[in-house]
Chains A and B, each alone.
Chain A
Amino acid sequence: EPEVTQTPSHQVTQMGQEVILRCVPISNHLYFYWYRQILGQKVEFLVSFYNNEISEKSEIFDDQFSVERPDGSNFTLKIRSTKLEDSAMYFCASSEHSGANVLTFGAGSRLTVL
C-alpha cells in the first residue's frame, strides 16, 4: 500500500537553528499538507500546497516557516530559526484531489528544540 514517508523521524536542534523536515508524498497525489501536533494536544493545520504554491496557511505558519517542492518527489518544511515552542510532531500528508477527505499521513517527524 502506498505511504507517505518522512525524514528524519526525530531531530534535536538548538534554539535559533534552521531545520528542514522532508516528506515524500504518494506519487499520484497532487495536494500536500503539513500539520503539527504538540505533545498531548490536537493536530493543527499549518499549510496546504498545490501546483507548486501555497493554497492555504494558518496563523502558525509565519515568516519563519516555508515549504518547497524542490523536485518531483520531495516536499519540505523549513523552519528558519527554531524556537522552543516549535517542539512538536510534524506530520506531512497528501491527497489525490482538493475535495478528498482521505488525507494520507506520514508517521511524523518529532522535532525537539533545546
Chain B
Amino acid sequence: GESVGLHLPTLSVQEGDNSIINCAYSNSASDYFIWYKQESGKGPQFIIDIRSNMDKRQGQRVTVLLNKTVKHLSLQIAATQPGDSAVYFCAERGAFNKFYFGSGTKLNVKP
C-alpha cells in the first residue's frame, strides 16, 4: 500500500530563521501532494498543495518542493514565527479523495 513518512520527528528553529520539513513518499501514482498543519488541540489545517507534474509551488511564506526522482517532498517556511509551532503532516491524495498522511514532524520555534 501507499506509504508516506517523515524523516525527522522534531525540528527546532529560532524565530526568524527558515524551516525546512521533509517527507518521503512511495506512491508515484498520486496526483497531488499536500501539507497540513496541526496545532495542539485542533484538527489538521490545509497549508499548500502541489500537483504531481510540478516541481515547486509558492504560497505566503511557504514553498513546497517536489522531487519525483527521489520521491521527496519538502515544505519551506520563511521567517518562522512562534505561531508556526505545530505538527506538520505531508499527505498524498489517492483515489476517491482518500488522503494518506505521514506520521508528522513537530516544529518548535524558539523565541
Please give the residue numbers on chain A whose beta carbons come within 8 Å of chain B beta carbons, in ascending order.
4, 31, 33, 35, 41-45, 48, 55-56, 58, 91, 93, 95, 98-108
Q: Is the CB of A56 within 8 A of B96?
A: yes
Q: Is the CB of B49 within 8 A of A101?
A: yes
Tell me whether B25 is interfacial, beta carbon within 8 Å.
Answer: no
Tell me whether B111 is interfacial, beta carbon within 8 Å.
Answer: no
Q: Is the CB of B45 within 8 A of A95?
A: no
Q: Is the CB of B43 within 8 A of A4?
A: yes
Measured CA separation A44–B104 after assembly (Å): 12
Q: Is the CB of A108 within 8 A of B43?
A: yes
Q: Is the CB of A42 within 8 A of B43?
A: no
Q: Is the CB of A56 within 8 A of B95?
A: yes
Q: Closest 7 A-B residue pairs measured CB to CB?
A: A105-B43, A56-B96, A43-B101, A101-B49, A42-B103, A102-B46, A42-B101
Measured CA separation A69–B41 after assembly (Å): 26
Q: Is the CB of A48 within 8 A of B96?
A: yes
Q: In the complex, what residue of chain A is closest to B34 when comparing beta carbons? A: A101
B residues near A55, Cβ cutoff 8 Å: 96-97
Measured CA separation A104–B45 after assembly (Å): 7
Q: In the complex, what residue of chain B is closest to A56 when comparing beta carbons? A: B96
B:1-60 near A, CB below 8 Å: 4, 32, 34, 41-46, 49
Q: Is the CB of B89 within 8 A of A43?
A: yes
Q: Is the CB of A42 within 8 A of B104?
A: yes
Q: Is the CB of A31 within 8 A of B44?
A: no
- The verdict on A107 contacting B43 (CB below 8 Å), with A45-B98, A98-B97, A101-B34 known, is yes
B:55-108 near A, CB below 8 Å: 89, 91, 93, 95-104
Give the contacting residue for B103; candidates A33, A41, A107; CB below 8 A.
A41
